[in-house]
Amino acid sequence: MVDPSAFVHPQAAVTGNVWIGKNVYVGPGAAIRGDWGRIIIEDGCNVQESCTIHMFPGVTVLLKEGVHLGHGAIVHGAVIGRNCLIGMNSVIMDNVEIGDECIVGALTFVKAAEKIPPRKVVAGNPAKILKEVSEEMLKWKTEGTALYQALPGEMRESWKECEAGKPEGDRQRMQEIREYVHKGVHPDPGRYRPWKNKHDEPQDGLVKEPEAEYGRRQFTIEDYLNLEKDSDFRHEYYRGEIFAMGGARPEHNRIISNLMIFLGPKVRRKSCDIFGSDQRVHIPANSLFTYPDLVIFCGQPTFYDDNMSLTNPTVLVEVLSSSTRDYDRVTKLKLYQDIPSLQEYLVIDPRPYLAEHWQKHAKKGWELQKYDQPADHFLIRTIDVKVPLEEVYRNIQAMKKV
């Protein structure tokens, strides 16, 4: 079973009980043999050239969402966690379980029945845990994998058989390229520019969110809504582009849970309601569809024509992460200000203590107040509730110690 959005190279061999999910890339020379058991390759994975996936009879091999399987790697009867990187020519033996967000170095041998906890750097023969995966390493891995998640769409749109060009026809250009290379400069970087440059470039004065992009063509709102109906994961839509939204860390979820518990009864006394991150919000003025971490609305809700995308929130809350920090603090602020009903926008840093509270005033426009002391509290004016910063960060320190 192969999802239509995936790309399996015609020189790859996929046989037997194999399930390939959305936006999966399988390179030439890969051998994926589900003849004695089952192989499940979840959405957004890539299996690069000359990889082998197989198993003992009756075993299920599982590559969870976003796994990056480097050139020549072998996976035999293992479970690879979400958003892992398996380095080139590594060997992952039977009954191995690798936790989410791990990085396995090139040429690593993970012996049978090993259990690797989440977010570990692993290397060697036999494999050893070297250290924790940092936020910078994880961002580098996620952004690299995003290139391969975009590749299937590009291959389907533009890949075709062709005759190879002959260098005799453009020797001057070849000489120019050689000179550039000797100087250490790429003469034609094309669309695959370094991710740092790619995401630092402003678009219409906005900072682009560094999340995985699925495909490169322009999508309609109808395309996006149809995708969301069938998707197990959430996506944002903005001006014809669709972006996959990453998962949240435990401290992120704890902050939202603290706010829901503290604000829930108080919100309802004001004839308002509160929703978590599953509530989609749409801004017709700028086309954005997104899932804020917390939504408060007062009065009668209004929705876009799919009856699922709220258009009149009163208060929005976002909790920062390393990959969305600039996006939530700069871009989303500007986009959210296009919502006529919005009165307040709260941005919370999961590293205690910092809360940025934007409020709209009739004459002054939007004003910012920051709170960074445990004893501070801020007033959500819309529902007339004072929120102690200690309540927002309740039990966060205990989670970090564990």
More confident residue, 163 or 32: 32
- pLDDT-derived band at 214 (thresholds 50, 70, 90) equals very low
CA dist 329 and 325 (Å) reads 6
Least confident of 3-7, 82-86, 118-122, 326-330: 326-330
Q: What does each C-alpha distance from 391 to 108, 170, 395 come to in angstroms?
A: 45, 68, 9
CA distance 383 to 87: 52
Higher-confidence position of 218 and 72: 72
266-325 pLDDT, tens digit per residue, is 998 888 999 999 999 999 999 999 999 999 999 899 999 767 999 999 999 999 987 778
pLDDT at 250 over 80: yes
Which sign does the torsion angle of CA 226, 229, 234, 236 carry?
A: positive
The strand ranges marked E within 163-311 are 235-238, 241-244, 272-275, 280-283, 288-290, 294-298, 309-310
User: What is the spatial distance between Cα 65 and Cα 62, in angstroms, rounded to a whole number?
Assistant: 10
Element housing 319 (H / E): strand 315-319
Q: Which of 300, 251, 295, 296 is nearest to 277 (CA)?
A: 295
According to the model, what pLDDT value does residue 322 have?
73
Average pLDDT score over the chain: 86
CA-wise closest residue to 210 among 195, 224, 191: 195
State the pLDDT confidence band at 339, using cuts at 50, 70 and 90. very high
- Local structure of 333: helix, strand or coil: helix
State the pLDDT at residue 201: 41
The predicted pLDDT at position 305 comes to 75
399 pLDDT exceeds 70?
no
Residue 347: partners with Cβ closer than 8 Å, 6 or more residues away: 317, 318, 319, 320, 328, 329, 333, 355, 356, 357, 358
Q: What pLDDT score was predicted for residue 181? A: 65
pLDDT band at 216 (very low <50, low <70, confident <90, very high): very low
Share of the chain above pLDDT 70, in %: 85
Q: State pLDDT tens for residues 159-207.
A: 888 887 766 656 666 676 676 666 655 554 444 433 333 333 444 433 3
Domain with CATH 2.160.10.10 in the chain: 7-136
The CA distance from 308 to 287, in Å, is: 15
State yes or no: pLDDT of 208 exceeds 80: no
Q: What is the pLDDT of residue 63?
A: 97
Q: Which residues of 304-331 are buried (b: 16+ CB within 10 A; e: fewer)?
A: beeeebbbbbbbbbbbbbebbebbbbeb
Give one DSSP letter per residue of 48-115, joined into a string: -TT-EEE-STT-EEEE-TT-EE-TT-EEES-EE-TT-EE-TT-EE-TT-EE-TT-EE-TT-EE-TT-E
Task: Please state the pTM of the whole predicted model.
Answer: 0.49
Q: In percent, how much of the chain has pLDDT > 90?
A: 61
Q: Is 30 helix (H, G, I), strand (E, B) or coil?
A: coil
Q: What count of Cα atoms within 13 Å lies in the side-chain half-sphere of residue 238? A: 20
In the chain, ranges of CATH 3.90.1570.10 domains? 250-401
pLDDT at 9 over 80: yes
Stretch 242-250: mean pLDDT: 80
378/344 Cα distance (integer angstroms): 12
Query: What's the CATH number for 250-401?
Result: 3.90.1570.10
Closest to 60 measured CA to CA, from 106, 14, 18, 100: 18
Long-range CB contacts (within 8 A, 24+) of 323-330: 323/139, 323/142, 323/209, 323/210, 323/211, 323/246, 324/209, 324/210, 324/211, 324/246, 326/207, 327/207, 327/208, 327/209, 327/210, 329/356, 330/206, 330/207
Please name the fold of domain 7-136. UDP N-Acetylglucosamine Acyltransferase; domain 1 (2.160.10)
CA angle 214, 78, 244 (to 5 degrees): 15
Determine the average pLDDT of the residues in 70-77: 96
DSSP for 148-181, written as a single string: HHHHHHHHHHH----PPP-GGGGHHHHHHHHHHH
57-61, 173-177, 220-224, 263-267, range with the lowest pLDDT = 173-177
Average pLDDT over residues 381-392: 94
Q: What is the pLDDT of residues 342-358, one digit of tens each?
A: 999 999 998 888 999 99
Q: How far is CA 401 from the centre of its chain?
A: 26
The predicted pLDDT at position 35 comes to 93
Between CA 309 and CA 302 the distance in angstroms is 8
Supply the Cα-derived Rg of the chain in whole angstroms.
24
* Contact criterion met (CB below 8 Å) for 278 and 291: yes
Higher pLDDT, residue 58 or 233: 58
The predicted structure's pLDDT at residue 230: 77
Nearest to residue 337, comparing CAs of 300, 363, 310, 367?
Answer: 367
- Alpha carbon distance 332, 324 (integer Å): 10
Three-state secondary structure call for residue 235:
strand
* Greatest pairwise CA separation for the chain in angstroms: 79
- Note the pLDDT tens digit of each residue in 127-147: 999 999 998 899 889 888 888
